[in-house]
Amino acid sequence: MPLVRIDLTSDRSSEQRRAIADAVHDALVEVLAIPARDRFQIVTTHDPADIIAEDAGLGFERSPSVVIVHIFTQSGRTTDTKQRVFAALSDKLAAAGVAGTDLFAAISENGPQDWSFGFGVAQYVTGELTVPTTGSG
């Protein structure tokens, strides 16, 4: 059950924003084998001047249309799985018009005690929800 934040520039149309969100979700469904309806995304637009994403020492320039994807998910993913997520994000977002140089992605892991789906309760802890395995979200 990943929670995904997608930050992008406000110069993208609503259709482009949806295509980007769909591409991110498709990558997670493909690599993490999460159910298609297990979708929690926050898409936030920013003035291009409000996203600063410079070279991290890799020697390439980003355009003003950077897309930042932050994935929060259960702990236990292997480095290989994370690498496959990053590759799938790049591939799927390229098809949605996002250059590889304009993608910045991060994965943050946490435990079942860190999730509440409503009512002020951590449902994985109370047993109302089954803790997903690392192969299913």
Q: Which residues are catalytically annotated?
A: 2
**Degrees, nearest 5: CA angle 82-1-17:** 80
Q: Please report which helix (H) or strand (E) contains residue 109, including its range.
A: strand 103-110
Q: Residue 91 and residue 125: Cα distance in Å, rounded?
A: 36
Rounded Cα distance between 126 and 44, Å, is 32
CB 33 within 8 A of CB 25: no
State the sign of the Cα–Cα–Cα–Cα dihedral 3, 37, 68, 60: positive
Are the C-beta atoms of 91 and 30 separated by less than 8 Å?
A: no
Could you count the other beta carbons within 10 Å of the beta carbon of residue 52?
7
